[in-house]
Each structure stands twice: as C-alpha cells, then as structure tokens.
Structure 1
C-alpha cells in the first residue's frame, strides 16, 4: 500500500489539510490526520504516520513565546502523567481489534467536536489545579493510548484555567509535544515501531508545514471562529463515520 500513487496522494492531501487547520486554529493536526488516515488503516498505523509532522509542528508551537519554563514548573505533574499513561497504554491501540480501536477513535473525535461546538463556559478554580492536573494528565494519556487523539480532556481543562492567550497556545504545544513523544515511545515499547513507517512519516512533514503556512495566511482573511465551527462540524461527521464503521 505504501508504494502506491493513491497512498502518497492521500498522505499529502491529508497532512496539507491537517496543517491548514492547525495554521488557522493553532491545533488539530493530529486529530485531523488520525481521523482521515484511520479511514484507510488501523489506528496504530495512523499514529506512526503522524509522529514526525506532529512532533515538528508542535515543537515549533511550544518554542514560540517566553512561557516554556514557567509552564513546565506549573504543569509538570500533568505532563508526566500524560507521558506515562500514554506510553504504557499504547498496548490497547497496538494489540486491540482495529474495529474496536477505530470505534474508540470515532467516539473520541465526536465527543471533542460536540464539546467544542457547544463551547460551555467552564472555569477551574486555582485551588483545584494541584489536584486536577495529574488526574487530567492521566485521563488524557489513557485516551491517547487507546485512540491516538490527545485533545481530551487536556484541551478543555487548559482552556478552563484562563491562561493568557500566548501561554495557552504554548502550553498546548508542550502538551501535544509530550503526547507525540509518548506515542512514539509506546509504539517502540510495544514492539510496533517500523522503520519504514518512520520514513513515510518524515515525508509528511513538508505538506504539514505547507498547510500551516497556508492556514496562517488564511487566518488573516477569514473569521477564525467560523472556520473553527466548520472544522468541528466536519470532525463530528468524521467521528460519526469512524464510530459507525463496524455497523455500516
């Protein structure tokens, strides 16, 4: 499959679109890539495909701004929990029935899209942060290990802390970078790491960066809020397709 013209065309288009979404909204590359590649292959293979473009784009995101060290000091329990739970939870994604993991991926995408569309106004009191951060990290890591999607519940939680806009973007980059590294470590730990897939993933970096660049240009010309709404509707339909796949 990996040497066909169809596969490479799909790979370029998927990561171009995923990068464009990230360029406009600041997030969404792994979510879009997992959802679309999950239509063609097992979630474990889809994870291997997104590792390099996700890592490069998220390192870029978390390196911009001057909040990295304060954020690391503040959120290290959450990030450590994400890393450990993702790494050791990858057995679900690697060894479970692909039909079941595809269903779980679809449910995760659908729940995230519905949550973001409804946009409930939630605030987390500062006094709860020390207790909640490692719990949120653990839950995020378990969901990531089972589905390859690392937005829930970390993204809503971080948004509820009322971080400064720049700090929030950088913290999301840190969280996504840790999740991506943990996914790679989990694949290696479970014996599912394939050098060939690493090479294919590296080729996806270029379209992902091109998509980000186009997304940043597009962000200046359209309503980011309207674009996000369209993206979330698309994501909810994609999640529904994956979740219902075993019965269609």
Structure 2
C-alpha cells in the first residue's frame, strides 16, 4: 500500500503527502507568530490551509492546535492568574460563547464563496486598521461595549474559527498591559477553542476523517510556538508585529479574492 493510500484511510480525501507537508509548515508558521504576539494562529491556519483544502476541512484542521496552544498560553503565569483574567472578562467570555455556538451551525449552510468573504473581510479590515495605527477609542471596559465586541467576535469565530481580530483590538484599545493581554488572549481563545470543538462536533466539521488531520497539526504548531517565544526576546516585537499584519493583510485579501471569484 502506498503512502498516499495509507493517508487516505485516516484523513480527508483532499489530503495527499505534499499537502500534509504544506499543512505542517503552515502550522509551524502560525505557532511561531502566536508565540511572538499571542494571536493570529487561526487566521494563518485557515488562510493557508484554504489554499488547497475546502474551508470546512481547513476549519477542522485548526481546532485542536488552537485549543492546545491557547491552553499553554493561558496557563503560562499559572492557574490563579488565568482564573483572575476569566473573572475580569466574564461578560466577554459568556456572550462570545453564546454567539460562537449559534454561528457554528452556519458552516454547513453558507455557500463557500460567502464563507470565504466573511472570513477574509474581518482579517483584511483588522490588518489595515492596525497598519494605519487606527485604534478604537475605548477608555474603560463597559458591560455594553464588552458585550457588543464579544458578540461580534463570537459570531465570526463560530463559522470561521477566527475570533482574534476584534478581541485584540478591544484589549489594545483598553491599554491592557502586555503580559496580561497575552494571558487574557490565551484564556479567551482557549475557552473559545473548547466551545468551537464542541460546536463543530455538532456541526459535523470535526468528525472521524478530519480529527486525525487536526491532531497531526498539533506538534508543528507547538514547535512553532516555542520558536516564536524564543524569538520574542531577540527581535523587536513592534517591527515583527507590523510584518505579521502585512502577512495577514495578504492572507485576508487572498480569501476575499477567492470568495469574489469563486
């Protein structure tokens, strides 16, 4: 039995050996970026994997690596610190969870071109705003504003696996201290990843033939995250973050192009 035949027994039919190697490289890159700035793994994974996989399989692939790496990020300063962050942002977590679970069911309903546009648009908008230094003028976290941002993040995250941009924009607008922001992102994204897993077991995205693919992406994602963490102390984070935003802008624009030309 050939290598490709063995792969076909356990993975989606769209995956062949060369695609697996490409998926591993994308997962490592996503992990490295996450290790540097604390977010962007789902965006890079879904953008990269969607180049050669259907959106639902790309979404399935990112679920488990995102869950594991966010858990590592959330618990980096210990469980007590993570619990305090959960208490502080409990409204965001609750509202985001509700909207994430609700919108997850859209994966099987939305046409592929619409899904690509809905994923690409927030990525592109976020990258453009950040590159031009446009911030949301929020002086303090009011329950109403927190609920609105959480609803949008959860809605986008449910059908795309991407809820980072509005979350990062919100935390940045609040002037959240760097270490706390990294931890809060890990907590929010980690709990969101748990909800995403549960939601897409129900939606059928995470199933017997897609779960092994997602499992295989965990090691390269962790390896990449380790590299990113090591680089964080050696490379100017502002410069690297700007370069990351350029990459995300290209990725988001590519998803929009595919959606518009589908």
Please, what TM-score do these two structures have when normalized by structure 2? Answer: 0.88
> How is 1:152-231 mapped onto 2 (pairs within 5 angstroms)?
152-231=165-244
Residue 30 of structure 1: aligned partner: 42
Residue 66 of structure 2: aligned partner: 54
- Kept in 1, the 8 Å contact 2:39–2:164? The answer is no
CA-CA distance at 1:236 after TM superposition: 0.7
Q: In the alignment, is residue 107 of structure 1 matched against residue 124 of structure 2?
A: no
Residue 94 of structure 1: aligned partner: 108
Residue 6 of structure 2: aligned partner: none
Residue 132 of structure 1: aligned partner: 145
Q: Give the whole-Å Cα distance in 2 for the aligned partners of 1:162 and 1:32.
A: 25
CA-CA distance at 1:3 after TM superposition: 5.0
CA-CA distance at 1:93 after TM superposition: 2.2
Distance 1:72-1:218 versus aligned 2 partners, 3 A rule: closer
CA RMSD of aligned residues (A): 1.8
Q: In the alignment, is residue 5 of structure 1 matched against residue 22 of structure 2?
A: no
Q: Give the whole-Å Cα distance in 1 for the aligned partners of 2:116 and 2:101.
A: 19
Unaligned runs of 5+ in 2: 1-12
Secondary structure of the equivalent of 1:41?
Answer: coil
Secondary structure of the equivalent of 2:165?
Answer: coil
- Kept in 1, the 8 Å contact 2:37–2:182? The answer is no
Distance 1:121-1:97 versus aligned 2 partners, 3 A rule: closer
- Kept in 2, the 8 Å contact 1:113–1:236? The answer is yes
Give per-residue Cα distances to partners, 1:74-123, cap 9 Å, x unaligned. Answer: 21111011111111111222321112101221112111211221232444
Q: Give the whole-Å Cα distance in 2 for the aligned partners of 1:242 and 1:122.
A: 25
- Kept in 2, the 8 Å contact 1:82–1:178? The answer is no
Q: 2:27 aligns with which of 12, 15, 20?
A: 15
Please, what TM-score do these two structures have when normalized by structure 1? Answer: 0.92
Residue 7 of structure 2: aligned partner: none
User: How many positions carry a matched residue from both structures?
Assistant: 247
Q: Give the whole-Å Cα distance in 2 for the aligned partners of 1:219 and 1:167.
A: 16
Q: Give the whole-Å Cα distance in 1 for the aligned partners of 2:123 and 2:225.
A: 21
Secondary structure of the equivalent of 1:192?
Answer: coil
Q: 2:99 aligns with which of 85, 95, 119?
A: 85
Q: Give the whole-Å Cα distance in 1 for the aligned partners of 2:84 and 2:74.
A: 12
